[in-house]
Amino acid sequence: MIELEVRDVFKSFGGIQALNGVRFKIEGNELIGLIGPNGAGKTTLTNVLDGVYKPTGGQVWLNGERVDGLPPHEIARRGLGRTFQVTRAFRRMTVLENMYVPAMALHPAKRKRDFYDKAMEVLEFLTIEHLASDYARSLSGGQQKLLELGRLLMLDPDIIILDEPFAGVHPKLMETIYEYIEVVHGQSKAFIIISHDMESIFALSKRLLVLNFGELIADGNPEVVRQDPNVIEAYLGEEEEEEGTEIIAPPGVAGSEGNDA
């Protein structure tokens, strides 16, 4: 079973404490939302999980193996894949070559052609198969985002971290990304979705983690977390808290309408 355990992780940059004793555990193919105000430590946590940063304290365990301190490629090979806040397709490589990179890194004995069918299947699912021989730089921003998601599937990780997958995307593309998450989640993959798009986070996730100033201030059912006073304070400040509001999600999201009046 998929298992990711974050044990009291600390990360500081000089005098700034970016992560302060973060502790949680993922078991099975959970679908988790990770939210927090700007500067809360969401991306730092992702960078610690995928090996870009070595934590200054604490441990990270992935599928029964301690992985903190391992380089990113080793962690990727052990089953943790991620996207980046700003899309990072390999721009001067073709779409197909982008897809081959993780597959070839994971399977040293195989050849590119062994992955052609799978790559095309994934591209087809993401509706960009007709661009297979184009350079990634010629793709639109949204198509590059899809390519990044496709590349992740070639890595075939157990746990997928999506950093702001909905930022600046067209509604049509949003649907494709939703479908991607649903289908891939159905294939027994765990997700951690970082987003400021509360509507999507509440619609998708079954469990919500909230970071604020590097501390995990809430962890649980989204509906319960939504009403947590600490979370409301972190997001809206003390004044709103006094008014007793519980709107984390923007107007129009299930559960928030009743409080708008």
Closest approach, Cβ 155 to other proteins, in A, equals 6
In whole angstroms, the minimum distance from the beta carbon of 217 to other proteins comes to: 28
Query: Tokens 């070595």 map to which residue?
Result: 54
* Side chain identity at residue 17, one-letter code: Q
Please report whether residue 106 would count as binding other proteins according to CB under 8 A: yes
Taking CB under 8 A as the criterion, which residues in 30-89 touch other proteins? 50-52, 71-73, 76-77, 81-82, 84, 88
Task: Give the separation between CA 170 and CA 226, rounded to whole angstroms.
Answer: 26
| Residue 253 within binding range of other proteins, rule CB under 8 A | no
- Cα–Cα distance measured from residue 104 to residue 109, given in angstroms and rounded to the nearest whole number: 8
φ and ψ of 31, to 5 deg: -120, 105
28 near other proteins (CB under 8 A): no
One character per residue 135-154, x = contact with other proteins (rule: CB under 8 A): ----------------x---
Are residues 55 and 231 in contact, defined by beta-carbon separation less than 8 angstroms?
no
Which is nearest to 48 in space by CA: 10, 87, 13, 16? 10
Site membership for other proteins, residue 167 (CB under 8 A): no
> In the structure encoding, which two tokens stand for residue 66, read together?
């301690």
**List of residues contacting other proteins (CB under 8 A):** 50-52, 71-73, 76-77, 81-82, 84, 88, 90-94, 96-97, 100-102, 104-106, 108, 112, 116-117, 120, 132-133, 151, 155
